[in-house]
């Protein structure tokens, strides 16, 4: 069964950093691109970042460029999201999701259960 | 960026009703749309992908149509498990964008 599990969330103070991990199982990790998507409490879905199957191509939501970095380790079946200079507006559940071989024009499935990041003083 | 606008934002309906949810793109995205269903406290789940006509395991009461800038998700006969929030997402170009969601509630 294709599965994604996020980890690394928690409660942090404004200005701090956090690294999220997304570990995959049940499929050939290196064949797929991945997204991070977040959802603030009571709000809709916001795409955060995407990375190609080999890590050579990355894209970010414009408002997050320079603070968030997506990466992957194909030997560990894991995608990462490094989040720096966190603000209260970054408080959300962060989901990892599998795209296709290409970053675009593909279905996005499955999704992990999410990990909660709470930024509070 | 491509804006995705869903309507209505919320909808009250009864079991057995037929409903249609709409998603409009700010520019032509061909058929590169995915639809998701999200229930409270759960992660979104891919419902239907117009991109690859993917609908494995989805009840036949769900159907999608549209291309270009206007897309619809229809549910032919609502079941209790269908009451949820539905999101559309364009996969045409970066950045990926989602609609704001349509909350489907029991009347």
Chosen for mutation from A104, A113, A114 (greatest number of chain B CBs closer than 10 Å) is: A104
- Is B98 within 8 Å of A114 when comparing Cβ atoms? no
Q: Does A68 touch chain B (CB under 8 A)?
A: no
Chain A neighbors of B97, CB-CB under 8 A:
47
Chain A neighbors of B44, CB-CB under 8 A:
37, 45, 95, 111
Chosen for mutation from B40, B91, B96 (greatest number of chain A CBs closer than 10 Å) is: B96
pLDDT in tens, B63-87: 999 999 999 999 999 999 999 999 9
pLDDT in tens, B6-59: 999 999 999 999 999 999 999 999 999 999 999 999 999 999 988 766 667 889
Task: Supply the pLDDT for residue B73.
Answer: 95
Contact A92, A101 (CB under 8 A): no
- Is B46 within 8 Å of A110 when comparing Cβ atoms? yes
- Two structure tokens written together for A78: 């894991």
Task: Supply the pLDDT for residue B52.
Answer: 65
Mean pLDDT by 10 residues, chain A (121 residues): 97 98 97 98 98 97 95 98 98 97 92 98 93
Q: Which helix (H) or strand (E) holds A45?
A: none
Task: Supply the pLDDT for residue B50.
Answer: 80
Which chain B residue's Cα is nearest to A115?
Answer: B43
For chain B, list the strands marked E by DSSP.
Answer: 4-7, 10-13, 19-25, 33-38, 45-49, 62-67, 70-75, 85-90, 97-98, 102-106
Chain A neighbors of B100, CB-CB under 8 A:
44
Choose the closest CB to A44 out of B54, B87, B94.
B87
- Two structure tokens written together for B42: 């759960």
Burial A102-117 (b: 16+ CB within 10 A, else e): ebbbbbbbbbbebbeb
């Amino acid at each position: 069964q294709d599965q994604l599990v996020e980890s690394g969330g928690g409660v942090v103070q404004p200005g701090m950093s956090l690294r999220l991990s997304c570990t995959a199982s049940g499929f050939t990790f290196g064949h797929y691109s991945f997204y991070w998507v977040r959802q603030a409490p009571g709000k809709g879905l916001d795409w955060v970042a995407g990375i190609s199957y080999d890590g050579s191509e990355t894209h970010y939501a414009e408002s997050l460029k320079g603070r968030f970095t997506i990466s992957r380790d194909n030997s560990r079946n894991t995608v990462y999201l490094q989040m720096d200079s966190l603000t209260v507006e970054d408080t959300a559940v962060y989901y990892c999701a599998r795209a296709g071989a290409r970053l675009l024009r593909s279905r996005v499935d499955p999704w992990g259960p999410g990990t909660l990041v709470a930024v509070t003083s | 960026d491509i804006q995705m606008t869903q309507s209505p934002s919320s909808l009250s309906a009864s079991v057995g009703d037929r409903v249609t949810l709409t998603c409009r793109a700010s520019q032509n995205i061909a058929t590169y749309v995915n639809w998701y269903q999200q229930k409270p406290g759960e992660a979104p789940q891919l419902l239907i992908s117009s991109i690859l006509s993917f609908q494995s395991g989805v009840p036949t009461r769900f159907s999608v149509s549209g291309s270009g800038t206007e897309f619809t998700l229809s549910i032919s006969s609502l079941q209790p498990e269908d009451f949820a929030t539905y999101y559309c997402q364009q996969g045409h170009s970066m950045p990926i964008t989602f609609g704001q969601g349509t909350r489907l509630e029991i009347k």
